[in-house]
């Protein structure tokens, strides 16, 4: 099967140019710069005049809720949602039910991905206080990393033992991806609020950023960075949310870093000023913080301190979002809107368009060593997304696909819109329709 995408504006490898891409089966076989007027026959021709062509987004941080929490999301539903947003590969987190903290449960996740995922997939292994002996048994070609919750979490996934943390950082053969919030500081903040508001068991959500504070994030991130520096471990800090944390990272080329930082769409698109309007729909951990923190994160997209942009896609039912700073569940469904959100930031002048694929495709592929993905290059898998730069569409019911049935982006108007997503050479999404027969492949890490 041979397909040509003709006359797109290709954004790739730090450049923007008019060109065409030839796909044979699952692979890119030719990238043609300039207009293509050849009469060579193709099985399928896609006219991309006026459209932008990006490498498919690689989201290194999602929660698809399967197994055990499938009343709000599952791998089939959320991978469909990913395809609708131009996300062609994802790496999913271990805090499901049961948690992915044994080799057997990890293998079960891979089987779920194989049978149900519409896009390419892999799964993190979850660290606990007592499973570090399993780390050397993980296959580095299959598993992207070890996820450690260095702060408040559910069940057994909070690693708060100093000995376990040191052992994890000293012995992990894989990248360590850390959720950094200090539990002691969070609990102290909660107690202070309870003393101030006697008798109350919950507080307005606008106080969430004062409970899960900058100090809580900075202390935990500082510890993670210190451990990585002492042990030489490869550390990737998830969802950096504050200006102060950014001071812990270096502006160096990616291939010279052993400590890297991820920002997520929620912290780039919202600030604490949005709590009164959006309520618990934008409650997430780490918390949405001040406009000054949001500005610092946006600046870090171009100054080299942030290496990867992801979503931390975390669906909950709206009924589970009822309550305030303590009772409402934290997390929001964002995977369908990550690429268009970043392109809106381009429109606002926050970053040049060439940095969008760098942060969302190139760097994730390089950071994790993903085999032949993340770039529009000959010999690479044909994971691609076509985007209309002048769609001017409004998000509304029927235009989002997550199983939980809502998004904080509801009613937002976007200038850019994903019109086609190609996964391994096959169209997985086109003009509002997810092609359910398409299945992704397991990611391979070099």
DSSP line for 5-50: EEEEEEEETTEEEEEEEEEETTEEEEEEES--------SEEEE-TT
Strand partners, 271: none
Under CATH, what is the fold of the domain 2-53+375-394+413-434? Urease, subunit C; domain 1 (2.30.40)
Q: What is the pLDDT of residues 317-334, one digit of tens each?
A: 999 999 999 999 999 999
Preceding omega of 286 cis (within 30 degrees of 0): yes
Q: What percent of the chain clears pLDDT 70, i.e. is strictly above it?
A: 98
How many CA atoms lie within 13 Å of 257's alpha carbon, on the beta-carbon side?
24
Q: Which 8-state DSSP code applies to residue 367?
A: H
The residue among 86, 96, 89 whose CA lies nearest residue 64 is: 96
Q: Which are the contacts of 222, defined by CB distance < 8 A and separation ≥ 6?
A: 248
d(CA 434, CA 445): 27
Whole-number pLDDT of residue 38: 66
- Looking at the whole model, is its pTM more than 0.85? yes
User: What is the domain partition of the chain in residue ranges?
Assistant: 2-53+375-394+413-434, 56-368
Whole-number pLDDT of residue 156: 66
The residue among 434, 444, 445 whose CA lies nearest residue 116 is: 434
Q: Which 8-state DSSP code applies to residue 115?
A: H
Length of the chain: 446
* Contact yes or no for 89/337 (Cβ under 8 A): no
Whole-number pLDDT of residue 442: 98
The residue among 250, 246, 248 whose CA lies nearest residue 224 is: 248
Q: State CA 97 to chain mean position distance.
A: 21
User: Which residues of the chain fall short of a pLDDT of 50?
Assistant: none
b/e map of 320-336 (b: 16 or more CB within 10 Å)? bbebbbbebbbbbbbbb
Q: State CA 357 to chain mean position distance.
A: 13
Q: Which 8-state DSSP code applies to residue 156?
A: T
The residue among 194, 207, 351, 196 whose CA lies nearest residue 289 is: 207
- The vertex-188 CA angle with 186 and 196, nearest 5°, equals 115
56-368 has the same fold as 2-53+375-394+413-434: no
Q: What DSSP string describes 333-397?
A: --GGGHHHHHHHHHHTTSS-TTHHHIIIIIHHHHHHTBTT-SS--TTSB--EEEEETT--EE--T
Of 3.40.50.150, 3.20.20.140, 3.40.50.720, 3.10.450.50, which CATH number belongs to 56-368?
A: 3.20.20.140
d(CA 57, CA 82): 9
């Amino acid at each position: 099967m041979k397909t040509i995408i003709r006359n797109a504006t290709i954004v790739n490898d730090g450049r923007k140019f008019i060109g065409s891409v030839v796909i044979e089966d699952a692979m890119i076989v030719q990238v043609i710069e300039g207009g293509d007027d050849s009469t060579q026959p193709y099985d399928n021709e896609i006219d991309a005049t006026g459209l932008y062509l990006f490498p498919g987004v690689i989201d290194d941080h999602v929660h698809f809720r399967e197994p055990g929490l499938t009343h709000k999301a599952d791998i089939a539903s959320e991978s469909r949602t990913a395809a609708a947003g131009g996300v062609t590969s994802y790496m999913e987190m271990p805090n499901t039910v049961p948690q992915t903290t044994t080799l057997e449960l990890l293998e079960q996740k891979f089987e779920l991905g194989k049978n149900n995922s519409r896009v390419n997939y892999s799964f993190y292994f979850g660290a606990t206080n007592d499973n570090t002996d399993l780390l050397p048994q993980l296959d580095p070609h299959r598993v992207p990393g070890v996820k450690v919750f260095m702060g408040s979490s559910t069940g057994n996934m909070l690693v708060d033992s100093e000995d376990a943390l040191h052992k994890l950082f000293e012995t992990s053969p894989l990248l360590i991806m850390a959720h950094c919030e200090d539990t002691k500081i969070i609990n102290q903040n909660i107690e202070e609020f309870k003393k101030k508001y006697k008798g109350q068991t919950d507080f307005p959500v606008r106080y969430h950023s004062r409970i899960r504070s900058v100090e809580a994030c900075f202390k935990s991130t500082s510890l993670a960075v210190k451990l990585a520096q002492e042990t030489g471990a490869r550390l990737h800090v998830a969802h950096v949310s504050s200006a102060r944390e950014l001071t812990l990272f270096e502006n160096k080329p990616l291939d010279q870093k052993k400590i890297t930082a991820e920002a997520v769409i929620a912290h780039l698109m919202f600030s604490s000023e949005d709590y009164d309007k959006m309520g618990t729909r934008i409650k997430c951990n780490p918390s949405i913080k001040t406009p000054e923190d949001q500005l610092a994160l946006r600046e870090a997209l171009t100054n080299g301190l942030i290496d990867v942009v992801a979503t931390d896609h975390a669906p909950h039912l709206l009924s589970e979002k009822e309550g305030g700073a303590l009772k409402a569940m934290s997390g929001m469904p964002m995977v369908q809107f990550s690429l268009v959100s970043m392109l809106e930031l381009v429109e606002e002048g926050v970053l040049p368009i060439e940095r969008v694929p760098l942060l969302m495709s190139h760097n994730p592929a390089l950071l994790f060593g993903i085999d032949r993905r993340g770039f529009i290059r000959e010999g690479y898998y044909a994971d691609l997304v076509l985007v209309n730069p002048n769609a001017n569409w409004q998000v509304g019911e029927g235009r989002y696909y997550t199983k939980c049935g809502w998004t904080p982006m509801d009613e937002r108007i976007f200038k850019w819109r994903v019109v086609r997503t190609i996964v391994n050479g096959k169209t997985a999404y086109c003009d509002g329709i997810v092609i359910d027969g398409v299945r992704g492949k397991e990611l391979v890490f070099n």
